[in-house]
Amino acid sequence: MTNAYIQGLAQLLDAPKKIAIIPHRSPDGDAMGSTLALYHFLRKGGHTPVVIAPNEFPEFLAWLPDSETVLVYEKDKENVARILQEQELIFTLDFNALHRTGEMEHVLAKLTAPFVMIDHHERPDGYAQLTYSDTAFGSTCEMVYNVIVGLGKRDWIDKTIATCIYTGILTDSGSFKFPKTTGTTHRIVAELIDLGVDNSEIPALLYDNGSFDSLQLLGRALQNMKVFPEFGISYTTLSQAELDAHHYAKGDTEGIVNYGLSIKGITFTAIFIEHTDEKIIKISFRSQGAFDVNQFARDHFNGGGHINAAGGKSTQTLAETVARFERIVREYHPNLQKQVS
Which residues are at the interface with ligand 5GP (CB under 6 A)? 24, 100, 121, 284, 303-306, 309-313
310 touches, from Mn ion, ligand 5GP, none (C-beta below 5 to 8 Å by class) = ligand 5GP
**Phi and psi torsions of 308, nearest 5°:** -105, 0
Residue number, 143 or 271, with CB nearest to Mn ion: 143
Binding to Mn ion in span 15-54, by CB under 5 A: 30
Integer-rounded Cα radius of gyration of the chain: 20
Among 80, 94, 173, 311, interactor with Mn ion by CB under 5 A: 94
242 binds Mn ion (CB under 5 A): no
Instruction: For residues 308 and 288, give the distance between their C-alpha atoms in angstroms, rounded to a whole number.
Output: 6
Residue number, 12 or 104, with CB nearest to ligand 5GP: 104
Among 208, 326, 195, smallest CA distance to 272 is for 326
Residue number, 149 or 249, with CB nearest to ligand 5GP: 249
197 touches, from Mn ion, ligand 5GP, none (C-beta below 5 to 8 Å by class) = none
Measured CA distances, 300 to 91, 177, 293 (Å): 30, 28, 10
H-helix or E-strand containing 41? Answer: helix 29-44
Residue number, 236 or 284, with CB nearest to ligand 5GP: 284
Q: Which residue is nearest to ligand 5GP (CB)?
A: 311
| Size of the residue set binding Mn ion (CB under 5 A) | 4
Residue number, 5 or 178, with CB nearest to Mn ion: 178
Least distance between ligand 5GP and beta carbon 131 (Å): 16
172 binds Mn ion (CB under 5 A): yes
Measured CA distances, 206 to 40, 60, 64, 167, 225 (Å): 21, 6, 10, 9, 25
Residue number, 131 or 237, with CB nearest to Mn ion: 131
Residue number, 172 or 274, with CB nearest to Mn ion: 172
Least distance between Mn ion and beta carbon 143 (Å): 9
300 touches, from ligand 5GP, Mn ion, none (C-beta below 5 to 8 Å by class) = none
Least distance between ligand 5GP and beta carbon 306 (Å): 6
246 touches, from Mn ion, ligand 5GP, none (C-beta below 5 to 8 Å by class) = none
Residue number, 119 or 242, with CB nearest to Mn ion: 119
Among 103, 102, 96, 100, smallest CA distance to 127 is for 96
Least distance between Mn ion and beta carbon 172 (Å): 4
Instruction: For residues 46 and 52, give the distance between their C-alpha atoms in angstroms, rounded to a whole number.
Output: 19
DSSP 70-93: -EEGGGSHHHHHHHHHH-SEEEEE
Least distance between ligand 5GP and beta carbon 59 (Å): 17
Measured CA distances, 301 to 20, 95, 254, 316 (Å): 30, 18, 19, 11
Task: Look up residue 193 and give its amino acid.
Answer: I
234 touches, from ligand 5GP, Mn ion, none (C-beta below 5 to 8 Å by class) = none
Please, what sign has the CA dihedral across residues 21, 204, 59, 134? positive
- Taking the CA atoms of residue 265, residue 288, residue 31 and residue 198 in that order, the dihedral angle to the nearest 10 degrees is 70
Measured CA distances, 271 to 126, 174, 175, 320 (Å): 31, 17, 21, 14
Among the listed ranges 122-130, 170-178, 188-196, 221-229, the one in contact with Mn ion (CB under 5 A) is: 170-178
In the stretch 140-169, what mask flags binding to Mn ion with x, by CB under 5 A?
A: x-----------------------------
Instruction: For residues 247 and 224, give the distance between their C-alpha atoms in angstroms, rounded to a whole number.
Output: 18
List of residues contacting Mn ion (CB under 5 A): 30, 94, 140, 172
